[in-house]
Amino acid sequence: MTEIRRLHWGCGDRTPSGWINADIQEGAGIDIGCNILDGLPLASDSIDCIFSEHALQQLEILHVVDALRELHRVLKPGGGLRLCLPDLDKAISAYQGGSRDYFWCWDWDTISGNFITQILDYNDTRTPFTYEFAEELLRKAGFVNVRRVAYRQTSSSYPELVELDSWEGNSRELESFYVEAFKQNSSEVEYGS
C-alpha cells in the first residue's frame, strides 16, 4: 500500500506528525519553509491531500489564485484540498446582531472596533473571505467539485483531512467556514457544480 502524502500548508507552529508541514517561515517542526508564491519544492502531482487553516487570508487578494494554483499543481489527480477560512459573513451577522460573545477581540470599547480588529486579525488578514468568494477563486485556480463542508466532516476519500480541524484542543469552528475542492482526474467529469 502506498503511503498517503499529506501537506499542511500555512502550518505556523502547528506541526503535527504524519504531515508535511509548510510555512512561509522556518521553525521547529516545519519541513518546508518558503513563500508559496515562489513555488513549493514539491513535485507536481505528488500530494494526496492538503489542509490549510487561516493562512490563505494572509495573502494579498491578487496573489490568492496564484497560491491556489500552486496547491493545485502539487496535488495528485483526484486529490483534495480542505480550507478553513475566517467567515466574513458570520462576523457581519454577529456584528449586525450585536452578538458580543462572537468576538474574541476586546481591545476597544465599541463592538465595531472589535469587529474591525477581528476581521483584520491585527492586520494579518489581507483578503477577507466569504464562501462564495472562496468557491470562485478555487474554480479559477482549476479546482473542481468545490463544496462547503461542515466542521469535522469531509466529502473526500481522505478522512485525515479533518484531523486538524481540532488539533490539540484548538478549534476555529465558530469563526470559520470549511470548503473542500479537488483536482480533477483526467478520466472524470465534474459533478455537482
Whole-prediction pTM: 0.92
Q: Whose CA is closest to 31, among 44, 18, 43?
A: 18
Series of mean pLDDT values for 10-residue runs along the chain (193 residues): 89 94 96 98 98 97 98 97 97 94 89 93 94 98 98 93 82 91 76 45
Instruction: Return the pLDDT at 170.
Output: 72
Alpha carbons 193 and 188: distance in angstroms, whole number: 14
Angle between helices 88-96 and 111-120 (to 10 degrees): 180
Q: Does domain 6-86+129-182 have CATH number 3.90.79.10?
A: no
Q: What is the pLDDT of residue 193?
A: 42
Q: What is the pLDDT, as a whole number, of residue 190?
A: 47
Look at residues 129, 125, 103 and name the one whose alpha carbon lies nearest to residue 115: 103
C-alpha to C-alpha distances, 8 to 71, 103, 106, 161, 167, nearest whole angstrom: 11, 27, 30, 10, 12
pLDDT of 187 reads 58
> Domain residue spans in the chain?
6-86+129-182, 88-125
Residue 192 pLDDT: 44
